[in-house]
Structure 1
């Protein structure tokens, strides 16, 4: 008997010939799972990125340089990338639902603790721990969806999850900035942590228990290494991992350095006006959901290729001098990126044979390493040749991502 409060009705699941019992689209359990994963994405990314608008405040309050203040974010994302790989292994024994619940509650409590950090070094330690704790959500969430959702509705649910990450990424930045302006940074982080805790409680209350997950007690390093090696030797999956690395790298590069361009003449935007650019994440929310739905209906690889092309078009539009066209380019880029990400992450679950959590962890590892490495490398191009070089750099990455998608499509069809 499941210990969860949710007892699924027979009408809410579908069984395959292999005795898999999936949550089917249109049922209450499917809707609960979709909403729960939306909340998990929202909580994860709002807690992760909430410190970004506070970096100048940290620099002043703790008498640290701007580069040192950025450690409050980069330490979290760095440890998150490391933790994602470990989380897949841990979830095989602990369970998907349990690990995600512990991670969300722990990360929210650590955000609240950050509000009371008496010094800079302790604040960094808490943020690093938060990254480690949050690693239990992204890869495991994808694995849960791939295991429990009817494949015919997986794209839609994955799109809602990615929409939650987009909404959380936007909310964490925008709300923290607003709260800090009217109160101070400590109450701001406390409030963001409280919102994250409420989202975690909603997640626990809504998410149906796993029905297709098989617990693997103990820890066998050879099993996990063989699982990762198996996914890396799969014909199509490595190309999807490459797409995560390249697409996220291009997206972060544009966002990292657009601000430097727009605060300088002839634009001269202030910090408030720059912060409002984060609201274009709303287009990513819609694109994630629509992309997943279209993928279920007209083909996932077709939508993936369209999303990558849209991302490249948005990047190219930012070359124009007109501010409205630049903002339009960022909107198009955001729409294309989140559409691509929702489809590519869903395809990992579809194409992985067994140990889906390990496959998801490799995808998310590539995603965050691309963000870190390529986002930093873009700064060199900006310093040497300005914005044109940044756009050429991102277009080169997106061209490689497009080729990777074509190869993944061909190899997936040939394998099938």
Structure 2
């Protein structure tokens, strides 16, 4: 367990402004590196499909294998962070994922590429799995909503930069060159993370390993024992599944009939991530004004509205739909993530953060693959119908759980 090192339990909340900026810079850089690398293959899925004679569902495994491995690894790694500390886990995560990113273009076959992507997913798991807990411990509960919002804004920048870099590089250099460019981008921001991530302000406990492991298991039980936390995990699962399903299929829709865009132009749809950066960074004010329940429900409904806007075969309307759904999704994610971090019991923050992240990337892996199969078999309208249903189920989960909590 982590203990307060000579500081009261008042959260260590008010760090010096310079230290706070350093923390935010480090986690933003780690987010840019991690998310640029994690989703680098997404804009080149049509090229992978053509190279290896794959259907959209099989090509989407280049994304889903990594996110699935991340989902399966995140809880064990989060538990490990309770023993060895958050900072070593984050640093190991960004360094290993960057190295694997540079190896990806050298894969001699699609099978080897998938193996490397699975290993990369495991490596990346160390950052998102413990980052929210790290921020709570460094900055305190009072600042966690704004800090998590800033972190997610960095994540969206990474996702956007990685996808745009891959999309624009693919036309000139093929998917090998595209992955090389993103690997270099990840390396740059990994170095920035290593140089700027502050040491922990709380010391690790000197208790025995057996006692620490018992504490970790108790933390897992606590993270799964609060209904309000379970609701946030459900939001992560359903909303992320919807989001990745749509973006996995976006390249096929935009480069196919009737829109027929080139891969480079089609990759411009990822500029919609800029709206995600804005919406996630303003979550602190949103929650302060409307409360968590209204903010989460509203953001999910905005996401569903954006999904519906992608139905017409009009490029302008489709792009507008992606802008709206991206802004709504990242706002919902930032609310749910900070809500889970704030509601996590003392001693179970790492486990709660890990469970949230597990749900998030399980949604990415399963939802992304299922959505790609739906698109391949039935087309875009059925994919829209499926994802809207998933989002409405997330809305119902938040509303019902909050109502029951208020009644207790």
> Shorter-chain-normalised TM-score: which range?
0.7 to 0.9
Task: Tell me which of 209, 225, 231 is aligned to 2:223.
Answer: 231
- Which residue of 1 is the match for residue 279 of structure 2? 287
Task: Indicate whether 1:173 and 2:163 are aligned.
Answer: yes
Whole-angstrom CA distance in 2 between matches of 1:410 and 1:369:
27
Q: Which moved more, 1:342-351 or 1:270-279?
A: 270-279
Whole-angstrom CA distance in 1 between matches of 2:288 and 2:30:
22
CA contact (8 A) 2:60 2:368 kept: no
Whole-angstrom CA distance in 2 between matches of 1:119 and 1:251:
28
Q: CA RMSD in A?
A: 2.8
TM-score, length-scaled by structure 1: 0.86
Closer/same/farther in 2, CA of residues 347 and 217 from structure 1, 3 Å limit: farther
CA contact (8 A) 2:82 2:216 kept: no
Could you say what secondary structure the match of 2:13 adopts? strand
Task: Tell me which of 30, 35, 44 is aligned to 2:25.
Answer: 35
Instruction: Give the gaps of 5 or more residues in structure 1.
Output: 1-13
- Which residue of 1 is the match for residue 341 of structure 2? 349
Task: Tell me which of 381, 388, 394 is aligned to 2:387.
Answer: 394
Whole-angstrom CA distance in 1 between matches of 2:373 and 2:54:
20
Whole-angstrom CA distance in 2 between matches of 1:191 and 1:377:
29
**Aligned-pair CA distance for 1:201:** 2.1
Task: Tell me which of 46, 49, 55 is aligned to 2:39.
Answer: 49
**Aligned-pair CA distance for 1:225:** 3.5
- Which residue of 2 is the match for residue 5 of structure 1? none
Closer/same/farther in 2, CA of residues 184 and 387 from structure 1, 3 Å limit: closer
- Which residue of 2 is the match for residue 253 of structure 1? 245
CA contact (8 A) 2:240 2:360 kept: yes
CA contact (8 A) 1:23 1:148 kept: no
Q: Which moved more, 1:109-118 or 1:238-247?
A: 109-118
The count of residues paired between Structure 1 and Structure 2 equals 400
**Aligned-pair CA distance for 1:55:** 4.0
Q: Which moved more, 1:395-404 or 1:183-192?
A: 183-192
- Which residue of 2 is the match for residue 22 of structure 1? 13
Q: Which moved more, 1:255-264 or 1:92-101?
A: 255-264
Whole-angstrom CA distance in 1 between matches of 2:203 and 2:335:
23
- Which residue of 2 is the match for residue 308 of structure 1? 300
Report matched runs for 1:263-302 at 5 Å: 263-296=255-288, 298-302=290-294
- Which residue of 2 is the match for residue 332 of structure 1? 324
- Which residue of 1 is the match for residue 72 of structure 2? 82
Task: Indicate whether 1:124 and 2:117 are aligned.
Answer: no
- Which residue of 2 is the match for residue 4 of structure 1? none
Q: Which has the higher contact order (CA 8 A, sep 6+)?
A: 2
**Aligned-pair CA distance for 1:207:** 2.3
Q: Which moved more, 1:292-301 or 1:361-370?
A: 292-301
**Aligned-pair CA distance for 1:180:** 3.8
Report matched runs for 1:154-173 at 5 Å: 154-173=144-163
CA contact (8 A) 2:60 2:369 kept: no
Report matched runs for 1:192-231 at 5 Å: 192-212=182-202, 214-215=204-205, 218=209, 222-231=214-223
- Which residue of 2 is the match for residue 371 of structure 1? 364
Task: Tell me which of 136, 141, 156 is aligned to 1:146.
Answer: 136
Could you say what secondary structure the match of 1:236 adopts? helix
Instruction: Give the gaps of 5 or more residues in structure 2.
Output: 1-5
Could you say what secondary structure the match of 2:126 adopts? coil
- Which residue of 2 is the match for residue 361 of structure 1? 354
Closer/same/farther in 2, CA of residues 376 and 70 from structure 1, 3 Å limit: closer
Whole-angstrom CA distance in 2 between matches of 1:296 and 1:206:
30
1:229-268 deviations in Å (ceiling 9; x for gaps): 2221213111111111111122222223344444444333
- Which residue of 1 is the match for residue 102 of structure 2? 112
